[in-house]
Structure 1
């Protein structure tokens, strides 16, 4: 049964490392949550390691720059691992071909242009129009503030009929940018699959991003990991698949389901909601603190 906690400090002594989500847990897309920053700083002070694990479709250096611009202090984390990192490896390995139609914004172009050292000698990847593509990379809608997956129906039907595989660089369905909810690449991939198209995923809840994070953290085989996130289908599902404990942040994406007090989720509502989701996080907390 999921235990509601008031702070990370209640349980932190039992863990060596955190996989902490960003949007909805550490920040809201515009500014950091002070209490969450303090909680991560305290965890590191007691000797723990913090990996910020995000389904952002950009390589980690771009995520770090965004965190710096928002004012997230660097002393609250040890490393950043993104869905973009894991998906980029697959793209340069040729998982969906070399001539690719990219769905996404200009801010995601580093996914193509910032080639990791291990792929410098690989056959180049070229961005082309849909009509010339042998595969698709989705990092998000072209217009993330206004478009929905249904806006891509005709193009996706054409892509499906040609058998084009889609590499999804961000498995998230939606995120909240301040008070605005926007669709992510995961929503596009899900819609494409509903039409009979094929999509490949590398971020949470799928194994590649966790494998990469563990490798970079360099902890021993007996390290005790804890995942923190507000995505029941990404953060919590991924933790369960990895066999690690988790904290579900109820005040994020699903905040409206647990009562009027974001900081204090209603235990009965939480239990009923989790039963419907068929998920059992180890802990739950209103906001990370």
Structure 2
């Protein structure tokens, strides 16, 4: 069987078919250390042509500090109209625990904005009402290192809210585990896990609302395209939401797909097939 996936040269090749882009951030626009200039140029040019761009990210923080981070990484604000984060979507889940005790997993201070206004107390497992995972505690950690802690959470039947559903992310030249990988482990052990970011509907509903707000009129999903590098979150999310996908092969799947060498279109199609994504094309990196 021969793959029918379009091997396009850049977003400009298909841009006339779309009025709005819902673009992933980490792995598409930057790698955690610096922005990808060609990706930024592509989004700027799409907007110059009248298109709308909403960034849709599984970062476990509200969007305001993410915008500040993008500024620091060199992503200009004229590359996008708005942004929605998993942190934004997750806050509605956390709200039911207002005034209660939480057991936090992830960098201690980095994600404080996620909890603002909820009067939460961080405690150990024995006193917690819920486990909230923003990321693993350290970039070098693996989910298996948390199994013993997870057994304690399970013994108390603590629910887990995962603010970042990503399993892995590109960080410079490394691939590191994210909160979603710990959520997978806890779920496999029998724990109750809740996630609100990609690929789940709430974050896409909000992204489309923001795109329509920027556009000043409603948008037909047939003229909206999602851009992302993850099969589990971006491809599956696009498929479930009913929009096309532009798949970025040169991030977390770069090695297995030989994205910058001699990629096999059939291997890419096989990787995407379980997601049932309607793929408009693929690129190693987003370019115009």
* TM-score normalised by structure 2 residue count: 0.91
Structure 2 counterpart SS, 1:3: coil
Preserved contact between residue 92 and residue 125 of structure 1 (Cα < 8 Å): no
Asked whether the equivalents of residues 50 and 76 of structure 1 are also in contact (C-alpha less than 8 Å), the reply is yes
From 170, 186, 193, the equivalent of 1:192 is 186
| Conservation of the 8 A alpha-carbon contact between 1:205 and 1:233 | yes
- Structure 1 unaligned blocks of 5 or more: 116-122
Residue pair 1:265, 1:286 contacting (<8 A) in 2 also: no
Cα distance in 1 for partners of 2:259, 2:53 equals 31
- Pairwise CA distance, 1:214: 1.9
- Distance verdict in 2 for CA 1:29–1:14, change over 3 Å: same
Q: Distance in 2 between matches of 1:265 and 1:49?
A: 31
Query: Counterpart in 2 of 1:228?
Result: 227
Aligned residues: CA RMSD: 1.9
Q: Deviations along 1:115-160, whole A, 9 cap, x unmatched?
A: 3xxxxxxx633222211001111001111x2211111111111111
Give the length in aligned residue pairs.
278
Secondary structure of 1:58 counterpart? coil
Q: TM-score, normalised by structure 1?
A: 0.90
Query: Residue 225 of structure 2 aligns to a residue in which SS?
Result: strand
Residue matched to 1:22: 25
Deviation for aligned residue 1:246: 0.6
Deviation at 1:267, TM superposition (A): 1.9
Extract unaligned runs of 5+ from structure 2. none
Is the CA contact (8 Å cut-off) linking 2:175 and 2:252 kept in structure 1? no
Contact 1:274–1:280 (Cα < 8 Å) also in 2:
no
Aligned to 1:99: 101
CA spacing shift, 1:244–1:196, aligned 2, 3 Å:
same
C-alpha contact 1:189 1:199 (8 A) present in aligned 2: yes
